[in-house]
Structure 1
Amino acid sequence: MTVETEITAPGPQGALAGTLTLPDAGLADDMPVLLIVPGSGPTDRDGNSPLGVTAAPYALLAKALAERGIPSVRIDKRGMFGSAEAVSDPNDVTIAGYGDDLLAWAENIRDSLPGTSGPRCVIPLGHSEGGLVALAVMDRLAASCGLVLAGAPGRPIADVMRQQFRDNPANAPLAEAAETALRSLERGERLNASTLPAALQLIFSPQVQGFLIDVFSHDPARLIADLQVPVLVVQGGRDVQVPEDDARILADAAPQADLAILPEVNHVLKTVPSDGLPENIATYSDPDLPIAPEVVEAVADFVTRIRPSAGPDGSP
């Protein structure tokens, strides 16, 4: 059993909203709290999106971890869902701004869940693009004693998008236009989206170009190389959005990182028994399918090894 409570943290213009999930048996004094950082686009605190994702991976993960004694906070991004009042325009955001929100959440956790042996430590769990947000804020997050990255990019996001376009043969007619758009935004230059093929106009719409320019400027491998805390990189072998190579790039860049490759896990952290794409995509809309047990096991084992008094390598 678990106990869930709606909580808030201060945002730029209004409250940020989230859910605290605690073990029914109570919280151990020295147990860290996971801060689940959502992925790209309109992804809510449960891991769902109006763009067709209803798998609820973050909600399922939070409850499964609480049953292992691990508390967590999962959050709505500024300008969206329960955090709609935090900023007036959810598209006028930056990686640094999202990082500011993680700082506010970490302060909330430290204040509301103090430990008896010292400040409660916070471990961000960044999923997909949320991994980049977590990496970018770690040098400012004094409350953190570790980091978990799940299905996170190991290269600049523009390079991940390039591969996504290349890997789908149906995108061949769009390849040249997509590359032109990506190169323009990488240079920090906006483009006229109306000149692009219709299938690309939403991806590169004027409203999101400012954010894309910002997000393309961050290199996850460089960011992780500077970390002085224990890191766990979790990657599904059947992730069709972020390939296994990205996880290996992250782990290679951070020698202190643990790498967990989970062969039958996909991007929404569900088990997919075969390589069939339709079966994989079907899990994106199945909230009744449990979170992959291997994900829970890997994260739980990592978190329970971390203590506020641990050194940079996780040892006492």
Structure 2
Amino acid sequence: MRLPTPWRSRMIAVLIVAVAVVTAGPVSGTTRASAAPRAALVSAVDREVHFTADGTTAYGTLHIPAHRAGRRLAAALLLPGSGPTDRNGDEPPGFTPHTLALMAGVLSGDGVMTLRFDKYGTGRTGLGGRSSAPDMAAYTRQAVAAYNTLRAQPEADSHALLVVGHSEGGLQALLVDRAVQPKPAGLALIAPQDMRLLDLIRLQLATELNQALAAGQLTAQQAWLNNRGVARAIADFRAQRPVDTSGLLPSLVSLLKGMFGPVNADFVRSDDAIYPPSVARGIAHGTRMLITCGTEDTNVPCRTMPPLLSALAAARTTGPGLQVLAGLDHLLHPIGTPVNDPAIAPAAQQSLHDFVRPWRHATQG
């Protein structure tokens, strides 16, 4: 979840409408002159691909890194965060951090091919004729179709399929794992949604109210009343009662009506019904995992991670596990970096390198 800009509340956008070369040395006991010639080098390329889920065509970018002809590559499906976030991790024109496109570049350097796609409500895909956001299950079916499309590519190694999800995409990665065969060999959960949706939103809004209080924009009484009012509205929605937003700040009223109104209510209810640690307990034993949290991430704070981490430990997953990224925010930027700066901090890049190390060796020799 991306933190809304204080009192301009990008959370509405987050929720509305709601993807080196292998140089084989000479065989032992042979001379270099007698070794078989290496296969030709295939240049890196982006291919536009499309696939269908529930009758709607989705469009994406398949990136193939430079490799030797005939070499099968580790292949990663990239899943975006919440809201109208497109294949590149952007909500153009105003929000363009390029998070997923940059991840694809990092992984390409390790010889990993990637697929990222325009989910419902974004890019070329659009809403597929819908007038409201699909529910979470529909987004999962779309991501599963993307995974199967990636698996079917001639360059993909079916034994080295990976899923990398950012923010809500981290939860979606867990849901894709539950739905597909063969299972992914590894999952990377980058600043993942680790709580029920409305619990996380309540936490985010409490942080915003506390910041406004500290800045002198609200009194202690106003902050307390609005925190209580948000909790009341969430309880009403969960109980399927009329949502009472009386007495709340106008920005909160607008946000809550946007979430709980007819366009988004089905999606919000379906996402909020999912407790991520419960899904994580079903991950296959031995799955390689990466989980990141930034110490400056106020969308998904590190302190909320323990239940998810305990569930993954109970599932006996392996890999780098939790990587705490000091000084980084939700977009993998050092704190204070402009939102639209197209960069991923070196520590975040290194976490991805560590995650794919077994397959990097396998594909690059």
TM range (shorter): 0.7 to 0.9
Q: Distance in 1 between matches of 2:81 and 2:187?
A: 15
- Picking from 213, 224, 244, the partner of 2:280 is 224
Q: Distance in 1 between matches of 2:248 and 2:93?
A: 21
The structure having more radius of gyration, on CA atoms, is 2
Determine if contact 2:47/2:63 at 8 Å carries over to the other structure.
yes
Determine if contact 1:234/1:247 at 8 Å carries over to the other structure.
no
Residue 107 of structure 1: aligned partner: 148
Cα deviation, residue 120, structure 1 = 5.3
Determine if contact 1:35/1:123 at 8 Å carries over to the other structure.
yes
Determine if contact 2:233/2:244 at 8 Å carries over to the other structure.
no
- Picking from 118, 134, 138, the partner of 2:177 is 138
Q: Distance in 2 between matches of 1:249 and 1:101?
A: 27
Residue 210 of structure 1: aligned partner: 266
Cα 1:302–1:52 shift into 2, 3 Å? same
Determine if contact 1:127/1:151 at 8 Å carries over to the other structure.
yes
Q: Which shows bigger deviation, 191-200 or 237-246?
A: 191-200
Q: Which runs of 5 or more structure 1 residues have no equivalent in the other structure?
A: 273-278, 310-316
Residue 185 of structure 1: aligned partner: 237
Residue 7 of structure 1: aligned partner: 49
Q: Which runs of 5 or more structure 2 residues have no equivalent in the other structure?
A: 1-42, 214-222
Q: Distance in 2 between matches of 1:188 and 1:131?
A: 28
Task: Please list the CA deviations of residues 83-109 of structure 1 after superposition, one character each: whole Å capped at 9, or x if unmatched.
Answer: 1153523x3312211110111111111
Cα deviation, residue 129, structure 1 = 1.0
Residue 219 of structure 2: aligned partner: none
Cα deviation, residue 201, structure 1 = 3.8
Q: Distance in 1 between matches of 2:268 and 2:185?
A: 30
Cα deviation, residue 162, structure 1 = 1.5
- The aligned length equals 295
Residue 74 of structure 1: aligned partner: 116
User: In structure 2, the residue corresponding to 1:215 is in which secondary structure?
Assistant: helix
Residue 43 of structure 1: aligned partner: 85
RMSD: 2.7
Task: Please list the CA deviations of residues 262-288 of structure 1 after superposition, one character each: whole Å capped at 9, or x if unmatched.
Answer: 11221112233xxxxxx25x2x1222x
Cα 1:149–1:28 shift into 2, 3 Å? farther
Residue 246 of structure 1: aligned partner: 304
User: In structure 2, the residue corresponding to 1:260 is in which secondary structure?
Assistant: strand
Identity of aligned residues (%): 26
Q: Distance in 2 between matches of 1:28 and 1:271?
A: 40
Name the aligned partner's letter for residue 345 of structure 2. Answer: A
2:326 is equivalent to residue 263 of structure 1: yes
Cα deviation, residue 60, structure 1 = 1.2
Determine if contact 1:145/1:306 at 8 Å carries over to the other structure.
no
- Aligned pairs (5 A) from 1:291-302: 291-302=344-355
* TM-score, normalisation: structure 2: 0.73
Q: Distance in 2 between matches of 1:139 and 1:53?
A: 31
Cα 1:244–1:93 shift into 2, 3 Å? same
Q: Which shows bigger deviation, 226-235 or 45-54?
A: 45-54
Cα 1:246–1:123 shift into 2, 3 Å? farther
Determine if contact 2:57/2:128 at 8 Å carries over to the other structure.
yes
* TM-score, normalisation: structure 1: 0.84
Cα 1:286–1:174 shift into 2, 3 Å? same
Q: Distance in 1 between matches of 2:103 and 2:70?
A: 19
2:242 is equivalent to residue 200 of structure 1: no
